[in-house]
Chains A and B, each alone.
Chain A
Amino acid sequence: MAKVFIYPATSLILSDMVARFGHEPLGSAIGIRERIQTPGFESPPLQITPEEPKKGLKWAAVEVPSGVRGRMAVYGPLIEAAEAAVIVRDPEFAFGCMGCARTNELILFHLRNMGIPVLELDYPESEDEGIAFVAAIREFLNGLPKEASE
């Protein structure tokens, strides 16, 4: 079972596909859950403490806005743990403020430069494209190691 980072990180379709075909999806829910269930954070509701932008320095330079670094404190450890990635290009709903937009760019940059297997595709717009979409993901995921990592 490989750890597969999904982009958009909140995607229902990608999360389901990865789990359905026998791997572990890594998305924003995993990082958020860790914070939600950790006692002692000082700033609910977002659970982003002043420490988060400091942690984010590992993935983004100091002149990068702290919002991006705060977000990377959530996504960075997941990207580092990822053994593969499935990316949907230009997802319409993944727009947002500049912090989200720049974080998304940084996530894609890291995924493409890590040297892990990456599958990039577009959301299907028809039944035929849906069939090709599922087939591509299935073939990609079947090519990943099935045994547990670590």
Chain B
Amino acid sequence: MAEYIPTYVGTVTKYVFVESPLLTPKDLAVRAYEISGGVMIKETCFGLQVTGTPDEVEALVAKVREFDPFHIFVKDRGFPPGDERRCRANLGGARPGYLGHEFEMKKVRYISKGLEAAAATAPSLPEKPKSLDARRLKEMMDAEEP
């Protein structure tokens, strides 16, 4: 079996998703290129993939978030961009992980509302009845003297 020689060793890759009425993925990409400073950026239909050293990527992501803090979402990616094992160009069809993104992107508008509300105030949590913990129940049963 051929020896595996990894590429982009020591880098991190992050997805940047944008779901905003004010900022398209294309706009985001253009703005990100302006401040990229050598970090590798790949445009996608949902936003960007950013690859570079951890410090560079962290700094870029922090700046990119400022463009629209409540509508930009970031997560880690294990594979570098264009990796043949994940790139849809090689596989034909949606790449693995697409369904998860599709599902969660339907929910992020609610999250955006939550973030806006959290920034405006610190809302108190609704009271929820707590179920009895199994450990606690066992303690109560054990405490019962025969």
Contacts and interface: CB of A to CB of B under 8 A. Distances in A.
Determine if chain A interacts with chain B.
yes
Dominant secondary structure of chain B at its interface with chain A = mixed
Given A42-B4, A132-B125, A134-B117, A12 B101 contact: yes
A131 B79 contact: no
A20 B111 CA distance: 12
A134 to B, nearest CB: 3
B73 A13 contact: yes
Contacts of B76: 15, 25, 27, 29-30, 33
B40 interface: no
Contacts of B100: 8, 10-12, 93-94
B20 to A, nearest CB: 14
Interface string A6-40: 00101111011101100001011111110111111
Task: Tell me if A's interface is mostly helix, strand, loop or mixed.
Answer: helix
Interface in A70-124: 92-94, 123-124
A37 B9 contact: yes
A143 interface: no
B118 A13 contact: no
Interface of A: 8, 10-13, 15-17, 19-20, 25, 27-33, 35-45, 47, 92-94, 123-127, 129-136, 138-139
Interface stretch (B10-18, B21-29, B137-145): B10-18
Contact of A36 (B75, B78, B123): B78
A75 B15 CA distance: 21
